[in-house]
Chains A and B, each alone.
Chain A
Amino acid sequence: DAGVTQSPTHLIKTRGQQVTLRCSPKSGHDTVSWYQQALGQGPQFIFQYYEEEERQRGNFPDRFSGHQFPNYSSELNVNALLLGDSALYLCASSLGGPQLLQYFGAGTRLSVL
């Protein structure tokens, strides 16, 4: 049974570029949440998708956007990258809507130069 998978594992971009990160939820899960973990910090909630709609959003600018596909996989897009966007981006999935128990992937480490 595959867990939450994220791709790519590492990514290097330059300021001003755009990036897309991908997440496949755990088998059977239909809800995906995205978190940003800056170096030395705890993860911070970006947003959450369920039934292909954004259900909840954290305190992140509109440069951060997302999408959920009919197969429940999800993408996180970040436009106009800033140096401060360098972080580990974690995806978490849950079953039956945004539930208490979320399962995390290994993350995508984004470096912005």
Chain B
Amino acid sequence: AQSVTQLDSQVPVFEEAPVELRCNYSSSVSVYLFWYVQYPNQGLQLLLKYLSGSTLVKGINGFEAEFNKSQTSFHLRKPSVHISDTAEYFCAVSDVGTSGTYKYIFGTGTRLKVLA
């Protein structure tokens, strides 16, 4: 079964500074990866996804992520953060069950706190 590790539980960063949130997944023949954002008291919003093709994936709100198969990583980056980016970020991998159906395996999350 797949697994996801988010190496940082909290990341403080000053406004307008760059940020990288790290995510590593367990190795698999094929892998589909996602980043979600969760604002306080809300559900999950999809930031970006990697299904195939270019390893550099661009998402909403200026975020991007790079799929690195050799390092089994899918780190999330933003060149300049805003106060409004303060939220919990989850990395997820799609896992195929024995019946060929998909479910998501989530990491434990990284709390991004943007400081003024």
A104 at the interface (CB under 8 A from B): yes
B104 at the interface (CB under 8 A from A): yes
For the A-B complex, the count of residue pairs with Cβ-Cβ distances under 8 Å equals: 62
Say yes or no: A55 contacts B109, CB within 8 Å. Answer: no
Residues of A within 8 A of B44 (CB): 43, 90, 104
Say yes or no: A43 contacts B90, CB within 8 Å. Answer: yes
Interface residues on A, range: 20 to 34
B71 at the interface (CB under 8 A from A): no
A42 with B99, Cβ < 8 A, contacts A106-B43, A107-B43 known: no
Q: What is the distance, in angstroms, from A83's C-beta to the closest C-beta of chain B?
A: 21
Interface 9-mer from A11-19, A61-69, A71-79, A92-100: A92-100
A43 with B104, Cβ < 8 A, contacts A100-B32, A100-B94, A101-B49 known: yes
Say yes or no: B109 contacts A98, CB within 8 Å. Answer: no
Residues of chain B from 40 to 72 with CB closer than 8 A to chain A in the complex? 41-46, 49, 51
C-beta contact mask, B15-45 vs A, less than 8 Å → 1, else 0? Answer: 0000000000000000010001000011111
Interface residues, chain B, with chain A CB atoms under 8 Å away: 4, 32, 36, 41-46, 49, 51, 90, 92, 94, 97, 99, 101-109
Show 14 A/B contacts (Cβ-Cβ < 8 Å), sorted by A: A33-B103, A40-B108, A42-B4, A42-B106, A43-B90, A43-B104, A44-B106, A55-B99, A55-B101, A56-B97, A56-B101, A103-B46, A105-B43, A106-B43
